[in-house]
Each structure stands twice: as structure tokens, then as C-alpha cells.
Structure 1
Amino acid sequence: MIKAIHPIAGGIALLTILTFWLSTAFSEVFTSPEVVTPVKTLIPWGFIILIPALIATGGSGFQRGRNMRGPLVAAKKKRMPFIAANGIAVLIPSALYLSFKAQAGAFDTTFYAVQTVELTAGAVNIGLLGLNMRDGMRMTGKLRRRPV
């Protein structure tokens, strides 16, 4: 069961974060504040999906990897604390702050500074989660390693 939960929950988490990031970037670049406001307002509601998916991914990954050794397992274990800290310390507070600012119509310098930090931190987490997915697929044989 854990063997199935880990990739499904990880995929849901990655797709959710990617959806947040793309909807934010698209709405900021191509639309008006009237579109940005609902996007920024809805993102915290997405935590209802994201947080359980991340918990399931982390818990099942820890369970699956506890008896495993090797460079791919070590790399995944090394990335996870940074991914979690980035999410808890930067992404969640930023999303909540931006949601409140957008609802108030306060698209000021602070809003855009925090938006830049959020997009950067989100891109980092997307990249790290993508690397973890790639390494997990290599560990299970679903993705071959490139010849050196």
C-alpha cells in the first residue's frame, strides 16, 4: 500500500504546487488585478489538497526509505528538509499574505516583492520535488540512468 501511496501523493503534491505557480505567473503576466485577486484568494484553499499530499508523501517516503541505502536515497533525504522548510517558512506565509493583500486590492511594492520571493521559492521547490521524483523513478527502475 505504501508503495502505491508514495508516488501518487508525490505526484499530487508536485502538480498542486505547479498549478499554484503557473496560475500565479500567468495571472500576473497576462491578466489584470481583477483576475489576480481570485487566483491569490484560491491558492490557500488549495492547501486542503497540498498539505495532506505532502504529509502522505513524506511519511510514506520515510517508511519506504528507512532500510534503503545508496546515493539516490541519500539525495532524496537531503532535499526533503529544505523542501519542507521552504514550504513552511516561505511559501505558506507568502501565499496567505498575498491572499490578504489581493483581497484588499493592495497591489503595492510590498505585494510584488513578496510575490517575487514566492515565485522564486516555489520554483526551487518544484525543481527539488522534480529531482526527488526523478530519483524515485530511477530507484524503482521506471527511469533509466543516463550512461556516463
Structure 2
Amino acid sequence: MKTLIHPLAGTLAMLTIAAFWLSTAVSELAGTPETVTLVKTAIPWGFLLLIPALMATGASGLKLARGRRGGLIGVKLRRMPIIAANGVLILVPAALFLAMKARGGAFDVSFYAVQAIELVAGATNLFLLSLSLRDGFRLSGRLRRR
């Protein structure tokens, strides 16, 4: 079961983060202030999907590792605290701040500064999660090393 839960939960988490990032970028580049407000106020609700998916990914990954810490498993395990810290310390507070500012129509310098930080942090997490996905494929034999 954990061999099914881990890749499904991880993929769901990665797709959710990608949806947050893309919807933010598109609404900022081509949307109206109303569209930006809609996106920014919807993202915190997406945490109801994202956080359990990340928790399931982490828990099932630890079970699959069975205490091993070397090789690709070790690399994946060392990446996870960075991804989690980025999410807890930057992405979640930024999303809540941006939702509050957007709800009030305050598209000021602080809104756009935090928006830029959020986009960079989100892209960083997507990159790190994609590396973990690649390493997971290698561990499962679905992707061969060069």
C-alpha cells in the first residue's frame, strides 16, 4: 500500500504546488486585480489538499526507507527538511499575507515584494520535489541512471 500511497501523494502535492505557482504567475501577468484576488484567496484553501498530501508523502517515504539513510534515499531525506522549512517558514505565511492583502485590495510594494519571494520559493520547492521524484523513479527501477 505504501508503494502506492507515496508516489500518488507526492505527485498530488507537486501538482498542487505547480497549480498554485502557475495560477499566480498567469493571474499576475495577464489577469485583472479581481482575478489576482480570486487566486490569492483560493490558495490558502488549497492547503487543505496540499498539507495532507505532503504529510502522506513524508510518512510513506519514511516507511519505504525502512531505516536506510544512504544513497538516493539519503539524498531524498536530506532534501525534505529544506522543502518543509521553505513551505512552513516562507510559502504558507506568504500565501496568508497575500490573501489578506488581496482581499483588502492592497496591491502595494509589500504585496509585490512578498509575491516575488513566494514565486522564487515555490519554484525552488518544485525543483527540489522534481529531483526527489526523479530519484524515486530511479529507486523503483522506473528510470535508469546514465
In structure 2, the partner of 1:120 is 120
CA shift, 1:96, in A, is 0.4
In structure 1, the partner of 2:48 is 48
- Structure-2-length-normalised TM-score: 0.97
Code of the residue aligned with 2:54 in structure 1: it is L
% same residue:
60
Of 122-131 and 29-38, the range deviating more from structure 2: 29-38
Can you give the 5+ residue segments of structure 2 that lack an aligned partner in the other structure?
A: none
In structure 2, the partner of 1:141 is 141
Code of the residue aligned with 2:99 in structure 1: it is S
Q: State how far apart, in whole Å, the 2-side matches of 1:100 and 1:38 are.
A: 12
Question: 1:87-135, CA deviations, whole angstroms, 9 ceiling, x for partnerless residues?
Answer: 0000000000000000000000000000000000000000000000000
Question: 1:24-70, CA deviations, whole angstroms, 9 ceiling, x for partnerless residues?
Answer: 00100111111100000000000010000000000000111133353
Can you give the 5+ residue segments of structure 1 that lack an aligned partner in the other structure?
A: none
Correspondence list, 1:72-87, <5 A = 72-87=72-87
In structure 1, the partner of 2:29 is 29
SS in 2 for 1:105: coil
Q: State how far apart, in whole Å, the 2-side matches of 1:125 and 1:69 are.
A: 22
Q: State how far apart, in whole Å, the 2-side matches of 1:54 and 1:113 are.
A: 27
- Structure-1-length-normalised TM-score: 0.96
Q: State how far apart, in whole Å, the 1-side matches of 2:79 and 2:67 are.
A: 18
Q: State how far apart, in whole Å, the 2-side matches of 1:62 and 1:140 are.
A: 15
Q: State how far apart, in whole Å, the 2-side matches of 1:145 and 1:70 are.
A: 17
